[in-house]
Structure 1
Amino acid sequence: MSSVTPAPAPLSSPLALAPTGMLRTAELLLRNPSALIAQVQAGGPELRELPLRLAVCALAGFGAFGFLLGFTRSPLAGLAAAPKLMLVGLGSLAVCLPALHVYGRLLGARLSALQAVCEALVALGTTGLTLLGLCPVWLVFANTVNHPPTGYFHVMLGSLVFLGFAALRGIWVLVEALRLQGRTVLHLLAWTALYGMVGMQMAWVVRPFVGTPGSPTVAFRPLESSAFDAATTLLRSNLDSLDGGRPEPESLEFSTETSPAQESL
Structure 2
Amino acid sequence: MSLPVSSVAPSESPVPSVPVLPALPASASILRTAELLLRNPSAVLAQVQAGGPELRELPLRLAVCALIGFGAFGFLLGLTRSPLAGLAAAPKLMLVGLGSLAVCLPALHVYGRLLGGRGSALQAVCEALVALSTTGLTLLGLCPVWLAFANAVNHPPTGYFHVMLGSLAFLGLAALRGVWVLVKALRIQGRTTLHLLAWTALYGMVGIQMAWVVRPFVGTPGSPSVAFRPLERSAFDAASTLWRSNVDSLTGDWRPRSSDSEDPEERW
Q: Give the structure-2-normalised TM-score.
A: 0.88
Q: Within 2, Cα distance between the matches of 1:205 and 1:77?
A: 17
Q: Given the alignment of the two structures, is residue 43 of structure 1 paired with residue 51 of structure 2, yes or no?
A: yes
Counterpart of 2:142 in structure 1 is 134
Deviation sequence 1:46-105 (CA, Å, 0-9, x none): 000000000000000000000000000000000000000000000000000000000000
Q: Given the alignment of the two structures, is residue 118 of structure 1 paired with residue 121 of structure 2, yes or no?
A: no
Deviation sequence 1:212-264 (CA, Å, 0-9, x none): 0000110000011100000000000001011112332776x4x2xx25x4442
Q: Within 1, Cα distance between the matches of 2:108 and 2:232?
A: 29
Q: Within 2, Cα distance between the matches of 1:116 and 1:63?
A: 24
Counterparts of 1:34-73 in structure 2 under 5 Å?
34-73=42-81
Q: Given the alignment of the two structures, is residue 196 of structure 1 paired with residue 199 of structure 2, yes or no?
A: no
Please tell me the root mean square deviation across aligned C-alpha atoms, in Å: 1.7
Counterpart of 2:267 in structure 1 is 264
Q: 2:227 aligns with which of 195, 209, 219?
A: 219
Structure 2 stretches of 5 or more lacking a match?
Answer: 1-23
Deviation sequence 1:122-150 (CA, Å, 0-9, x none): 00000000000000000000000000111
Q: Within 2, Cα distance between the matches of 1:79 and 1:43?
A: 38
CA deviation after TM superposition for structure 1 residue 154, in Å? 0.2
Aligned pair count? 244
Counterparts of 1:17-166 in structure 2 under 5 Å?
21-166=29-174
SS at match of 1:172: helix
Tell me the percent identity.
84
The structure with the largest alpha-carbon Rg is: 2
Q: Within 2, Cα distance between the matches of 1:118 and 1:160?
A: 26
Q: Within 1, Cα distance between the matches of 2:163 and 2:28?
A: 38
Structure 1 stretches of 5 or more lacking a match?
Answer: 1-17
Q: Give the structure-1-normalised TM-score.
A: 0.89
Runs of 4 or more above 4 Å deviation: none
SS at match of 1:102: helix
Counterpart of 1:235 in structure 2 is 243
* 1:83 maps to amino acid: P
* 1:44 maps to amino acid: G
